[in-house]
Chain A
Amino acid sequence: VPDPKPSSDASGGHERRTPSVLSRRGFLVVVGASAALTTVLTAGQSVEALKDLALLAPRLPGVGPQGLPVNVTARAAGVEEAARSGTWGLEVTGRAKSVTLSLEDILEMPQHTAELPIACVEGWSSSASWRGVRLKDVVALVGDAPDGVRVESLQEGSRYRSSLVDPAHLEDDLTLLALELNGDVLSLDHGYPLRLIAPARPGVMQTKWLSSVVVL
């Protein structure tokens, strides 16, 4: 924005006139204040210490089931019944063979803990402690997955019901099929009985209520 031109208009010029737009310096000061205001209003979605200032945040760190926000509830996803059913099992389909794991089978595998955030594309981000089995350990039961895997949810008819896990994510030690959140069994809204949690993925790809893992 250019400095306001001294206006030499009709009204005579007897007096010093206030320009009709801000000066460059004034503009920069106001824009700086504006950026600061927006930062203060939004930072609290990810930085817990600032959450009292996040006056217009749709979610706040620490507010939600098990102290963690959720984006889609079990009810909204229509999975309450399927997730609670006693017959749940995780189908793991490899290129040559397949297995179906019960909850007990999964609990008997080596359990690992990872501190990972749900980083939602909405702008909020909230970390939690997850415990479960490594995805690569589960996939190893059915052989190699050089092209990665697809995980699928009990949820039907949502574009986020499945997500691809590329080989780099698959090999990462922090990529878990989680059974626990912050020391307790996953709540229904956080993906009970089993959900994916991996580093550096948007929240919508941390698929919940898993029903199957398919080697690509």
Chain B
Amino acid sequence: VNLEQIDLVKESFRLASPRIDEVAQRFYADLFERHPEMRSLFPDDLTTQRVKLAHELAAIVDALDRLRELVELTTELGARHAAYGVAPEHYQLVGESLRAALAAVLGDRYDAEVDTAWRLAYNLVAETMAFGAAGTARPDQARLGGRVAG
């Protein structure tokens, strides 16, 4: 994710913020329509769930340009999700529904570039969450065998 893409994500999220509950609603509707088997991972009443999602998204988007902070945030989040029964293969599905929800709410302002930015940013987050879920070493230290910078 380059700097421009981080900006795009932040900007588009700012635009969507006033209608964040609609984003969350559309996200869950889209996710359960496409993958009904995932419904059981969430509580019956989604009201609080939607609020939580909005808060988590806001925190993550805010931390996107501060990697160390982001990694701490998301690995912890990933560990919690694993306890709910979320498996690594679910992340891809969640990402698709999230982008579909943003696209629906933002309309014309969600163009191909914005979509790419969200996709890459989401992958970054999903990767670190998956590491948190597995309880392994932090990905920024593990993958290339030691930190180089930051």
Q: Are the chains A and B members of one assembly? A: no
